[in-house]
Structure 1
Amino acid sequence: MEQKKSSIVLVLREFKPHFLMVLAQVGYAFLYFITEASFNHGMSPFLYVTYRHIVAAVVMFPFAFFLERNERPKLTFALFMEIFVLSLAGISVPINMYFASLQYTSPTFVASIVNVIASLTFIIAVVLRYETLDVRDPRGIAKVTGTMLSLSGVMTMTLYKGPTMRNLWHENWLKGSLLAVISCVSWSVWYIMQAATLKRYPAQLSLTTWMCFVGAAQSAVFTVLIIGHKPSAWTIGFNIDLWSTLYGGIVIAGLIIYIQLWCTEKKGPVFVTMTTPLCTILAAILAYFVFGEKLYLGSIIGATFVIIGLYLLLWGKEGDQKIHINTKPCSGEDPECRLQSVP
C-alpha cells in the first residue's frame, strides 16, 4: 500500500508541470474574451494595461517581500535601469499594442499570432549568437523549416482573411495585425534580454513584481498621452471593466506568470513554449461554439502553418537541450545556458 501511494505521488509530481501549463493556457484563452468584452464596453486598452499591472504588483508584493527576503540581491541603479528596459520591452510596449490589436481583429487571431514568438526569438538568438544552427543536422533543418512555416502562417493571417474578405487594405484588420506582429517582436527581444537579468537578479517573484510596477508606471504615461489626465477618463465602474482588470492582474500577470516561471525552472523553456498552441485551439473553440465568431479560411490556414512550424522548431530545440544535459554542465558564461534560463 505504501509503495502504491509512493508511486502515485511520484506520478503526480512528474505531471504537475503539465497540469499547471494546461491551466495556464485555459486562463489565457478566457483572457482574450473578457478583455474584448471590456474594450467593447468602452474601456481603453492603455488604461486596462496600467490598472492590470498595478493590481499584479500589489498582489505579488507581499509574496515577493516575505518569500524571497533572504534570496533577493541588492537592487542597484544599474540593475533598476535594466529592469526598466525589460519592463518597456516586455510589458508596456508589447501588451499595449497587443490589446490595441484586439480592437481591430479578433480573439482567435491574437491567440494564433502569439505562437510566432518562439520563431522570432529563435531568429534573434541566432543573430546574437545565443543559439547555434547547423543546417547539415536534421534538427537544424527542422529549426529553419519551422521558423519559415511559422512566419508564413503569420503573414497569411495578416494579409489574407478568407473568402468573405473585401478590400483588406481599407479595413482595420491590417492595422490590428501589424500591432500584434510588433508586440510579438518586442516580446521576443524581451525573452532574450531576460536571460542576463535573471543571472544577476535570480529572485523570480521580486523580478516579476518590479516589472509589473515599472510597466504600470510606463503604461500610465502612454495612457495620459492617449486619453488625457481628466479623472473621468480614468474611472472604471463596478462592471466588466473592473472584472477584466482584476482577472488580468491577479490571474494572468500574477498567478500564471509565476506558474510559467516555476515550470521553466522545472522543465525548461522548451516545455513551456510547447503548450502555447493549446491556447489557440481553446480560443478558436470558444469563439466558434460559445461566442458565435466566424472562422475565416486565412486564419485556419495561417494558424495551421504556425503550429506545425512551432513544433518543428521545438523538436529541433529539444535535441539541443538533451545534448546539453547529457554532455556538459550548464555554465553561467555559456550563451546557450543563458538562453535556457529565459522564462
Structure 2
Amino acid sequence: MAMEKFKPLLLMILVQICYTFLYFITEASFSHGMNPHVYVTYRNIVGGLVMLPFAYFLERKKRPKLTMALLLEFFVLSLMGVSLTLNMYFVSLTFTSPTFIASMLNTIAALTFVLAVILRLEIVNVEDPRGIAKIIGTLVSLAGVMIMTLYKGAILKNLWHPIIYIHQGNNVVKEDWVKGSILTVASCITWAIWYIMQAYTLKRYPAQLSLTTWMSFVGAAQSAFYTVIVQHKRAAWTIGFNIDFWSTIYGGIVISGLVGYIQLWCTEQKGPVFVTMFNPLSTILVALLAYFVFGEKLYMGR
C-alpha cells in the first residue's frame, strides 16, 4: 500500500532525472551539427516504434473505438506537445544553455496551475494550508524564473576543470538569447496547454500506451512535413554512429516512450498540475551538472 501511495512521486522524480540528461546529450548533438528539426522527427519515430508493440498487445481490450473526434484530438495533442513545442524548444536550446532552458520550464507548472484553476481541474481553497501553499509555490516559481532571466549577476569561478566538454564540434551555433528566450517562452505556453488537454483526452481515451504511440507517430509526421519545407539539404537527414545517433535513441526510447507514458499515467492518476510541479528538481540537477561536470558558466543570478 505504501509503495502504491508513493508510486506517482517516485515516477515523476525518475522523469526529471531522465530530462536532466536529455538537456546535455541533445546540446552535445546540436553542437556536433545535428539539425533540431530532424532530431525531433527521428526521435518520435523511434519512440512510436518502441511503444507500438506494447500498446497493441497490452491495451488490446482497453482501447476505446477510434472516432474522427478522437483522431482530431490526437492531431492537436501531437502538435501542441510534440511537433510544434519540441521544435521550438530544441531550437531555443541551440541559442541559449541547458541551465536557462531548465529554469524556464518552471513556468509550465505555474501556467498549468492557472489554466487548471480556470477550467476547474484544480480546486484551490484559500482557507486550507495546501491551497495557500499552491499559490505561494506558484508565485515563488515565477519570481525565481524572472530573476534568472532578467538578472545575470557576477560569474561564479569554476573550482576545477570540467570533466566533460559538451560544446566541442565543428558547427557550434552562436548564442542568441533574445531569439532563444522567445522560443522558450512560446514552447512553455504550448506545453502547459498540452498538459491540460491530456487530462480531457484521457477521460475519453484511457489507454496511455496507445495515446503515447499515436502522439509519437503523428508528431513525427507533422515535424517531418515542416522539416522538409525548411531543410532542403539531404545531408541533414543523415546521422552517423555517434552522439547524434545516441541522442536520438535516448530521446526516442526514454523520453518519447518511457517518460511520455509515465507522464500520461500520472496525469490520469493525479492531474496535470502534479506532473508539472516536479520541474524545479530538474533545474537544480541541470545547474549542478552544468557547473561541476560540464564547465558551463554559472552566474550569481542563476
TM-score between both structures, scaled by the size of structure 1: 0.76
Deviations 1:67-88 (A, max 9, x none): 1111111111121011101111
**2:236 is equivalent to residue 233 of structure 1:** yes
1:199-230 deviation line (CA, Å, top 9, x unaligned): 111111001100111111111122122212x4
Deviation at 1:119, TM superposition (A): 0.6
- SS at the partner of 1:103? helix
1:76 aligns with 2:67: yes
Amino acid in structure 2 at the alignment position of 1:187: W
Q: Are positions 1:222 and 2:226 aligned together? A: yes
Aligned to 2:136: 145
* 1:97/1:182 contact within 8 Å kept: yes
Question: What is the 5 A alignment of 1:188-207?
Answer: 188-207=192-211
Matched, 1:128 2:115: no
Distance change >3 Å, CA 12–CA 198, structure 1 → 2: closer
Secondary structure of the corresponding residue to residue 241 of structure 2:
coil
Aligned to 2:33: 42
Can you list the C-alpha shifts for 1:124-154, whole angstroms capped at 9, x where unaligned? 2233344444545554444333323322322
Question: C-alpha distance in 2, partners of 1:236/1:92?
Answer: 20
Select the structure with the greater relative contact order (CA < 8 A; seq sep ≥ 6).
2
Identity percentage of aligned residues = 69
CA drift of 1:21 comes to 3.3
Deviations 1:13-57 (A, max 9, x none): 555544443332221111110000000011111110010000000
**Residue equivalent to 1:337:** none
Q: 2:53 maps to what in 1?
A: 62
Contact 1:157–1:298, Cα closer than 8 Å, also in 2:
yes
Please give the alpha-carbon distance, in whole angstroms, between the structure 2 residues aligned to 1:143 and 1:69. Answer: 39
Q: What is the aligned partner in structure 2 of residue 174 from structure 1?
A: 178
CA contact (8 A) 1:52 1:245 kept: yes
1:255 equivalent in structure 2: 258
Change (3 A) 1:35 1:194: same
Deviation digits for residues 262-295 of structure 1 (CA, Å, limit 9, x no counterpart): 4455566555444332222211111111111111
Partner Cα distance (2:301, 2:228) in 1: 36
The offset of 1:196, in angstroms, is: 1.7
Query: RMSD of the alignment, in Å?
Result: 2.2
List gaps (5 residues or longer) in structure 2. 156-174
Farther off after superposition, 97-106 or 268-277: 268-277
Q: Does 1:105 align with 2:96?
A: yes
1:94 partner amino acid:
T
Quote the Cα distance in structure 2 between the aligned partners of 1:279 and 1:34: 15
Partner of residue 248, structure 2: 245
Structure 1, unpaired ranges of 5+: 1-9, 165-170, 300-343
Q: Is the 8 A contact 1:120 1:188 kept in 2?
A: yes
Q: Deviations 1:96-138 (Å, cap 9, x if unpaired)?
A: 1111111111111112221221110111223334444454555
8 Å CA contact 2:48–2:217 kept in 1: the answer is yes
Task: Provide the rounded CA distance (Å) in 2 between the counterparts of 1:132 and 1:15.
Answer: 22
CA distance in 2 between partners of 1:68 and 1:158 (Å): 44
